[in-house]
Amino acid sequence: MHFQKEPYSQAKLVRVIKGEIQDIAVDIRKDSPTYLQYVSVILNEENKKQLYIPRGFAHAFLVLSKEAIVCYKIDNFFNIDTYKGLRYDDPKINIKWRLNNDEIILSKKDKEFELL
């Protein structure tokens, strides 16, 4: 679950050109009435859906097809100093992923994120 802190937080518009993903956005705004709630949407080349992710949300996606091309537009520059992440399996968020934990392959960077 990736995000950037202010002043480099980002809104994103995500779509899939090829394949299929489960796209997740988690509200991480501490003053929000929906804090730590998430939305899960299937995006694929057939349904042509897009997901808008506002600033203040963490974002992750799970590739469900053999391969996928994911495209997103962002409204702010990437800044490594404000880049943060949350564990995909954090029990406080309790995301219902479409694959079992033993089927999910994470990058080294994503494995190092901590629980809330």
Q: Which residues are catalytic?
A: 2, 72
Provide the 10 A C-beta neighbour count for residue 11: 14
Question: What span, in angstroms and rounded, lies between the C-alpha atoms of 24 and 43?
Answer: 10
Question: What span, in angstroms and rounded, lies between the C-alpha atoms of 25 and 2?
Answer: 10
